[in-house]
């Protein structure tokens, strides 16, 4: 059976894509401009100051390839000219950050973490609620949610196990630096090719399949869309405009783009919004080994606050 999917046009939104690594198939535009060491350093410092991301000299080709198109659109001859415009225009700064970024995500990414959520965390929440140790409201924060696959994966998982009929309330807060990807996430519409990333029972229960001019697309059902609230947030900011504590915070495949100092500051700010018994999920390539005593590892990539049992399990690097 097929269902209509509402139209969405994410190209209408402002551009500020989430930070991601250079894709394997990236090729330099043959029309790309030449950048001087001085010009590269200007952009390097600006990007670090605004977004906390430090581009090493090995990223010179990435910067040139991504920004050359914008220089041609503005009919500029040098990166120095473009840098001056970026410094004067907030809109152009947004365009610049968008241009140097690539977005990559998928449903149920880091499947081991979702298995841990279903088999370890959710049963503990249920048991604690039955024993009167906690209420039946679960709050989750997806920090760096990209185009929405992460928060919608969480919504499917939690709604399946913690339904309103059993008295549960699920509140998912999803944030990203990019207003463009947030608009895509809010639209909750993807190519149907993404369906292979979703377990069959969740796909049948929580996704609508399009037909007619929406053939080849799928859209999240209203019951999971209603659980998620989206807002723009820069993890490099000194304070985060989020309210209350969360039982689970996910900041995955984002921290690798920051240096050690900035990464530590970000995690400490995140922990201010985590309940004492809450969990922090990071990406499989991300290390929190510098935060011994503040965090302990339950399993690789999954942490809780404090030193852990018997003086503390070290918060170690993930593999």
The pTM is what?
0.77
Q: What is the CATH number of domain 111-311?
A: 3.40.50.150
Mean pLDDT of the chain: 85
Where would I find the H helices in 146-274?
A: 149-161, 179-187, 200-206, 222-225, 260-271
pLDDT in tens, 184-220: 999 999 999 999 999 999 999 999 998 888 889 999 9
CATH number at 21-99 = 1.10.155.10
Residue in 132, 106, 134 with CA at minimum distance from that of residue 121 = 134
Report the distance separating Cα 268 and Cα 260, nearest Å.
12
- Give CA–CA dist 318/300, Å, rounded: 5
- Classified as helix, coil or strand, 73 is helix
The DSSP line for 155-179 is HHHHHHHS-GGGT-EEEEEEEES-H
The domains of the chain are located at: 21-99, 111-311
Q: Are 162 and 220 in contact (CB under 8 A)?
A: no
Provide the pLDDT for residue 213.
Answer: 83
């Amino acid at each position: 059976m097929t269902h209509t999917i509402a139209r969405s046009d994410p190209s209408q939104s402002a551009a500020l894509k989430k930070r991601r690594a250079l894709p394997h198939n990236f090729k330099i535009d043959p029309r790309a401009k030449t950048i001087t060491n001085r010009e590269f350093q200007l952009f390097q410092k600006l990007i670090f100051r605004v977004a906390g991301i430090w581009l090493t000299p090995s990223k010179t080709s990435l910067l040139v390839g991504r920004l050359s198109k914008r220089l041609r659109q503005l009919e500029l001859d040098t990166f120095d000219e473009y840098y001056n415009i970026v410094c004067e225009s907030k809109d152009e700064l947004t365009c610049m950050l968008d241009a140097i970024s690539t977005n990559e995500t998928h449903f149920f990414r880091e499947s081991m973490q979702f298995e841990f959520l279903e088999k370890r965390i959710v049963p503990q929440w249920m048991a604690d609620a039955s024993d009167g140790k906690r209420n039946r409201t679960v709050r989750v924060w997806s920090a760096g949610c990209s185009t929405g696959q992460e928060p919608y994966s969480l919504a499917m998982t939690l709604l399946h196990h913690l339904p309103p009929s059993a008295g549960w309330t699920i509140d998912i807060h999803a944030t990203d630096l990019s207003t463009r990807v947030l608009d895509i996430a809010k639209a909750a519409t993807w190519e149907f090719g993404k369906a292979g990333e979703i377990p069959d029972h969740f796909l049948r229960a929580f996704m609508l399949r399009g037909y007619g001019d929406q053939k080849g697309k799928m859209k999240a059902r209203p019951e999971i869309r209603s659980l998620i609230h989206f807002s723009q947030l820069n993890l490099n900011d000194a304070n985060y405009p989020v309210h209350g504590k969360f039982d689970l915070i996910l900041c995955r495949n984002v921290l690798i783009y920051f240096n050690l100092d900035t990464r530590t500051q970000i995690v400490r700010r995140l922990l201010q919004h985590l309940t004492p018994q809450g969990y922090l999920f990071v990406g499989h390539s991300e290390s929190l080994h510098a935060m011994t005593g503040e965090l302990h590892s339950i399993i690789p990539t999954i942490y809780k606050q404090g030193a852990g049992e018997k003086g503390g399990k070290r918060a170690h690097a993930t593999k």
